[in-house]
Structure 1
Amino acid sequence: MEENSPYYKELIRRYRDSKATEEELEVFFHLLSEGTINQELEDVMNEDMPGEERTVHRIPFYKLTAVRVAAAVLLILATAGGYWLSKKRRESPLLSDNKPLIKHDLPPGGNKAILELADGSSIVLDSASNGTLSRQGATEISKKDGMLAYNQAGKKQGEILFNTIKTPRGGQYQLKLADGTKVWLNAASSLRFPAAFSGNVRKVELTGEAYFEVAKNAKMPFIVQEGGMSVQVLGTHFNVNGYDDEDAVRTTLLEGSVKVSKGGASVMLKPGEQTSVSHTSQLSQPIPVQTDEVMAWKNGLFYFNGENIAVIMRQLARWYDFDVTYEKPVKEKFYVKINRNTNVSNVFKILETTGGAHFKIEGKKITVMP
């Protein structure tokens, strides 16, 4: 409303000058996302034209939350031709005048998976309706809003029936096993598991990446097998990343304790620690890691903390389902958090403003350039 215009302008100035409080920042980014303050943005930017030569202080991208990063980048890029953008270009070589060559944009991934039942039949979960999907022995399989649940009706089980859930590139899915264990499956991953657990152990087989919140059962250890490595727990929270195109299988503990083994070697992890094993070597000793970085994918983020472009593009390719080629090497490291629920072009815009790389989108083919 017009009577709010002076307040909006002062709010924009406080953001521009890095004086806004947390509460003011929340209001600013909400108004920005709603398009409510477009006119006020233009007015305040005109105030900053040459003549006053006011110094613009920006909050570094890596200090903002993912939503704020995206909003701040859109704020800068939306003012193409304006003084703020031209001033930023003069100050930093990371923003060039090259126009993006985008023929087609790519949407983010979502809840997509295929469930393969013991009899060989399959259910496409992203197109299946909520409700009961099937029964495997005494276990009912149901779906509700992007989550698959196995509910065991009784303790007596007959033949062990194995199911497999597979996510494609551009997919993810959440699963509750019959024992109550919760699993978040990342893109391009699969999990093979029994419809109901019996015997002395609860064993599942993973490819790709998944986060587990294991239901406690001191009498039945829970074992995750990833290639030749196994992770054994009684009840805990941990992440396993074992994509074939990564240099190692990494297990990270968030809560409780786990025993990671390969061959005759094993290590015990404490919360906040990670161990890794390459495809040709033994287990590494535990090292401390930033768990929020490891778990960013589950929390809807990309978190790049000093990563090179090859690592970044592997993650993006799994989520946006594209193939990548490199025109020339890109040597820069990247420090940024980005919301995963945005089109790939917005991700590339953010990367272009924070590092020395540019991108060309041609359908599902992405070319990376310095």
Structure 2
Amino acid sequence: MALTREQLEELYNKYIQNNCTHQECEALINELGASPEEGMEEEVISRLFNATWEGLDVFPGKYQLPEPVRPQETAYETPVIEMYAVKKRWMRIAAAAAILLIVGTAAFWLVRTRETDLPATPGATVRDISPGGNKAILTLADNSTIILDSAADGQLAQQGNSQVIKTKSGELVYEAASQKAGNPFTIDHSPLTYNTLRTPRGGQYQLVLPDGSKVWLNAASAITYPTAFPGKERVIKIDGEAYLEVAHDAGKPFKVEAYGTRVEVLGTRFNVHAYSDEGSIKTTLVEGRVKVVKRETSNVKENSVILQPGQQAVLAGSHSSLTVDHSPDIEEVLAWKNGLFRFTNADIETVMKQVERWYDVEVVYEGPKPEGHFRGKISRNVMASEMLKIIEASGVKCTIKNKKIIIMK
């Protein structure tokens, strides 16, 4: 090992502060590119990179370590950063070193250590922004509301024949008397009432419906549902995004209504993406079988499609017909539910829409919107500055100012 432990740590810290000279940068890159057989002290490098690459994994086959050159003299070809898990940590480290060269000076932002305060501009206070969490408001049948993130665990209300319970794990559960008797599908003759669970920007929540169906609600979303399911069908409404695991009942179909579409199922797992501020509605089937119906409008007749697992129904607008994507990226669709941001050739607007909802911020573009696409994944449980490193690594400048993120090409 050419450098001592202390020298390596000193150089690395100087690099992430953008204070390395050309010679120091070469020495650091040479050390990062060394293999374990050549004596590289993996423990030191691993600890340093783990401190700054939290949530990021790199796919080493994409890059080869080039000869050391000045980072500012090396241009990237396309604003894409790929991050995938590998088993050998030293390979991740070598790939990271290559990326430092490939993306040029923007790499400083990619590996910069986590900060609670970002560099301030004169006359403005700039703070980092915390990620979202379990936040939601429950509106009961009488229009009274309960803020769930501050409510105590245990029974919150009685709605018709169902107890509304907040569990220790943070779920909202509707427990009907028939469930206690062991039959969740017993007909409830009490008056039908509706509740609405709504997450703010920066919020998410989990819900168990009276029939035992499970719902994961994404940020800036709402679900309206009856507090019991009498009759011949189970109908709920969704605004925003939700993932559902529907309890099977062949005699009582489950239906989801969302902005002019209806999803009909018996028992299945699927995701509905139906935000009012986006141009398309997408229903993605993970397991089972569903029928997606586009309601008739003045310009378009009603049409429907039947999805098989791994397919996605897309409604591009109210005046369009349903189409089927036979090979959507399921991992990308479900990333939010699994606690991740994950992008596959996403443009800047797609990425920043998710950032807006999860961090509860306003995104402003100064000048033309940056071109190019992004690939990668990172935990949703990171500060906004960490998330923005993916964007900044492509040469796009991002500034956090209060509750606003400013994007400059």
Superposition TM-score tier, normalisation by shorter sequence: 0.7 to 0.9
User: Whole-Å Cα distance in 1 between the matches of residues 175 and 46 of structure 2?
Assistant: 41
Shift of 1:30: 7.8
CA contact 1:230–1:261 (8 Å) conserved in 2: yes
Alignment-derived partner of residue 362 in structure 2: 323
For residues 166-224 of structure 1, give each alpha carbon's deviation from its aligned partner in whole angstroms, at most 9, with x where no partner exists. 00000000000010100000000000000111100000000000000000000000000
Deviation at 1:31, TM superposition (A): 4.3
Deviations 1:108-145 (A, max 9, x none): 00000000000111100000011111111210110112
Tell me, yes or no, if structure 1 residue 181 matches structure 2 residue 213: yes
Matched, 1:126 2:149: yes
CA distance in 2: counterparts of 1:291 and 1:255, whole angstroms: 11
| 1:330–1:356 Cα contact (<8 Å) kept | no
- 1:8-47 correspondence runs (5 A): 16-17=32-33, 31-32=47-48
In the alignment, is residue 164 of structure 1 matched against residue 203 of structure 2?
no
Task: Select which of 401, 404, 408 maps to 1:362.
Answer: 401
Q: How far apart, CA to CA, are the structure 2 residues paired with 1:363 and 1:168?
A: 18
Per-residue CA shift, 1:279-326, capped at 9, x if unaligned? 321111342211111000000111111111111111110000011111
How far 1:349 moved relative to its partner?
1.7
Task: Quote the residue 2:281 is aligned against.
Answer: 249
Letter in 2 for 1:273: Q
2:176 alignment counterpart: 152
1:64, CA displacement in angstroms? 2.4
Is the 1:115–1:125 Cα contact (8 Å) retained in structure 2?
yes
TM-score (norm 1): 0.79
1:193 aligned residue (188, 202, 225): 225
Gaps of 5+ in 1: 21-25, 36-51, 77-83
How much does 1:232 deviate? 0.3
* Distance in 2 of aligned mates of 1:271 and 1:309: 29
Decide whether aligned partners of structure 1 residues 28 and 137 sit closer, same or farther in structure 2, where only a CA change above 3 A counts.
farther
Partners of 1:366 and 1:258 lie apart in 2 by 39
Contact kept? 2:83, 2:375, Cα under 8 Å: no
Q: Which moved more, 1:275-284 or 1:142-151?
A: 275-284
SS, match of residue 336 in structure 2 = coil
**AA matched with 1:322:** V
Match for residue 338 of structure 2? 299
Given the alignment, which residue of 254, 273, 276 partners 2:314? 276
For 2:314, give the aligned amino acid: S
Q: CA distance change for structure 1 residues 365 and 131 in 2, over 3 Å: closer, same or farther?
A: same
Question: What is the root-mean-square deviation in Å for CA atoms of aligned residues?
Answer: 3.6
User: Share of identical aligned residues, percent?
Assistant: 41
Scaled by the length of structure 2, the TM-score of the pair is 0.71
Q: Tell me by how many angstroms 1:338 deviates.
A: 1.2
Contact 1:157 1:196 in 2 (8 A): no
Compared with structure 1, are the counterparts of its residues 162 and 273 closer, same or farther at alpha carbon in structure 2 (3 Å cutoff)?
A: same
SS of the residue corresponding to residue 247 of structure 2 reads: coil
User: Which segments of structure 1 move beyond 6 Å, counting only runs of 4 or more?
Assistant: 26-30, 96-100
Distance verdict in 2 for CA 1:53–1:333, change over 3 Å: closer
Among 112, 135, 148, the residue aligned to 2:158: 135
Contact 2:311 2:324 in 1 (8 A): no
Q: What residue number does 1:239 align with?
A: 271
The count of residues paired between Structure 1 and Structure 2 equals 325
Query: Which whole-Å CA distance do the structure 1 matches of 2:325 and 2:352 have between them?
Result: 27
SS at match of 1:118: coil
Q: 1:352 to 1:222 in 2, by over 3 A?
A: same
Amino acid at match of 2:106: L
Cα distance in 2 for residues equivalent to 1:30 and 1:173: 35
Quick one: which of 347, 350, 355 aligns to 2:387? 347
**Structure with greater strand share of residues:** 1
Q: Is the 8 A contact 1:149 1:176 kept in 2?
A: yes
Gaps of 5+ in 2: 10-27, 37-41, 52-66, 72-79, 113-117, 121-125, 179-185, 296-301
Instruction: Compute the displacement of 1:16 (Å).
Output: 4.1
- Contact 1:108 1:170 (C-alpha < 8 Å) held by counterparts: yes
2:106 alignment counterpart: 95
